[in-house]
């Protein structure tokens, strides 16, 4: 089937832009890279068929500048736009502009993005669809409402930004006396971060695991899931390591969670790839949010399922039915992904600068998605992720051993990275035995041990 578009502009940068370019080239699609002035020598610029500068370094003047992106698409004759993840990937207004300009947005509809982007609305939709949600509220009008709701739900509680996501804008409250002030702070922070001060409240699960289900849906009502990913190794609600499948799920819980994710996607008529995220509390699970885009951690699903999710996303945007995917898929082996960031492994302070030496690991079952090279300068304007190291093996213990080997071969000099933190995690008994939840780093982190890994293996 010939696709209805032939040239794709990638409205992003870094490794995800390069990832999309590769997927497009394998489908015989032309690509257009956009870049800021500081990204002129980036690899996504080099490997795209065309490239066009869209502004200065700060993202607000380049990668978040919708008029510049649309102009770049029109100037180059692009007839489709892939948003990647981050930046404008979950901006309904961007998807609407792309549609109105006669181009194909490679993602869900603006309405799907809007519905799941409003976390209060998403909760209500999931409740109506029979997907488990935590006891909670709608948008709170005042601190007094928050106090009344918390007394009804029971402490601890968590305040969340209605327009938030990705772990940002959350405030946990254990002490009832602190709730009024925390409510005001949360509302102000939400306004500053998302342009909307609306917050809501949910019961807080003290020791959860973070499990997400990859869903794939076409424009003809077909929806399947591609099993789960475990994302519980986190720092301040930001994922550090992901793996698939999860050791925390038994057959019944896994089945019910997969069914709930498919039900969630069908309830809103979703199409494209997406991720339904859950909190797991023992054998109970609760809807947390739905991400209406390709995920950073999509690679671990690709490794165990043998499916190129970016290419499937492109086919779905072209209107193709699930077809060959519309059958039961069984995961093969185990995959683990580490996010390699330009940050101090102990303080987590950003570490921009020039990479003076680089060696990327390889070998059987090792994949590295990255945009860096020796001599590359890490700018201070963007997310600090440099690379994703993904390993795959027949089972989890072999995957962990492969991960340790690959981490020991990974060399980045000239700037600080969190590689020592990953090396420490890969050796920790709680991680090796699968005995962890979202508080793993808070409970187990040993800065002296991480520093030793840094000093021994810079």
Residues designated as active site: 293
Sort strands 223-235 and 199-203 into parallel, antiparallel or unpaired: unpaired
Mark out the alpha helices in 82-227 (DSSP H runs): 92-100, 110-117, 119-128, 143-153, 179-194
- Measured distance CA(4)–CA(105) in Å, rounded: 12
The partner residues of 152 in beta bridges, in order of sequence, read none
Strand positions, DSSP E, 166-237: 168-173, 199-203, 209-217, 223-235
Compute the C-alpha angle 311/317/321, nearest 5°.
85
Nearest to 384 by CA among 412, 365, 356, 405: 412
- Find the helix or strand (DSSP H, E) in which 451 lies: helix 447-456
> Could you give phi then psi for residue 413, rounded to 5 degrees?
-115, 155
In DSSP terms, 209 is beta-bridged to: 280
| Distance from the first to the final alpha carbon of the chain | 50
CA distance 111 to 272: 13
CB 168, CB 294: distance < 8 Å: no
**Do 256 and 217 meet the contact criterion of CB atoms below 8 Å apart?**
no
How many Å is the Cα radius of gyration of the chain? 22
Q: Answer for the pair 92, 117: CB distance below 8 angstroms, yes or no.
A: yes
| Cis geometry, peptide bond prior to residue 245 (ω within 30 degrees of 0) | yes
């Amino acid at each position: 089937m010939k696709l209805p578009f032939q040239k794709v502009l990638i409205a992003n940068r870094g490794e995800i832009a390069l990832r999309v370019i590769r997927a497009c080239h394998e489908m015989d699609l032309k690509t257009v890279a956009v870049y800021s002035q500081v990204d002129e020598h980036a690899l996504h610029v080099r490997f795209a068929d065309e490239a066009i500068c869209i502004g200065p370094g700060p993202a607000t003047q380049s990668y978040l500048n919708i008029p510049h992106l649309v102009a770049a698409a029109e100037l180059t004759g692009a007839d489709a736009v892939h948003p990647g993840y981050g930046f404008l990937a979950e901006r309904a207004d961007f998807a609407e502009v792309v549609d109105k300009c006669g181009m194909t947005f490679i993602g869900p509809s603006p309405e799907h993005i809007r519905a799941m982007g409003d976390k209060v609305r998403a909760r209500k939709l999931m409740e109506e669809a029979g997907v488990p949600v935590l006891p909670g509220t709608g948008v709170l009008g005042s601190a007094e409402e928050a106090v009344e709701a918390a007394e009804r739900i029971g402490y601890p509680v968590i305040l969340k930004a209605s327009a938030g996501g990705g772990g940002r804008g959350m405030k946990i409250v254990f002490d009832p006396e602190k709730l009024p002030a925390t409510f005001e702070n949360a509302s102000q922070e939400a306004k500053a971060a998302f342009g909307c001060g609306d917050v809501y409240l949910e019961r807080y699960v003290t020791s959860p695991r973070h499990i997400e289900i990859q869903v794939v849906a076409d424009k003809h009502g077909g929806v399947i899931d591609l099993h789960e990913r475990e994302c519980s190794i986190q720092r301040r609600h930001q994922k550090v390591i992901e793996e698939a499948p999860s050791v925390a799920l038994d057959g019944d819980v896994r089945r019910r969670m997969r069914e709930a994710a498919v039900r969630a996607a069908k309830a809103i008529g979703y199409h494209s790839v997406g991720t339904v995220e859950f909190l797991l509390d023992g054998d109970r699970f609760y809807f947390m949010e739905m991400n209406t885009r390709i995920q950073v951690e999509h690679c671990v699903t690709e490794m165990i399922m043998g499916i190129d999710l970016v290419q499937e996303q492109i086919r779905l945007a072209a209107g193709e039915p699930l077809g060959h995917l519309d059958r039961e898929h069984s995961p093969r082996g185990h995959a683990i992904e580490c996010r390699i960031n330009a940050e101090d492994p102990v303080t987590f302070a950003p570490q921009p600068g020039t990479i003076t030496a680089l060696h990327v690991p390889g070998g059987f079952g090792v994949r590295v998605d990255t945009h860096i090279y020796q001599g590359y300068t890490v700018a201070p304007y963007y997310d600090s992720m440099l690379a994703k190291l993904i390993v795959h093996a027949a089972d989890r213990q072999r995957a962990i051993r492969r991960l340790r080997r690959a981490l020991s071969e990974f060399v980045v000099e000239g700037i600080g990275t969190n590689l020592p933190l990953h090396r420490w995690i890969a050796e920790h008994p709680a991680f090796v035995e699968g005995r962890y939840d979202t508080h793993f780093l808070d409970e187990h982190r040993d800065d002296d041990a991480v520093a030793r890994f840094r000093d021994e293996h810079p």
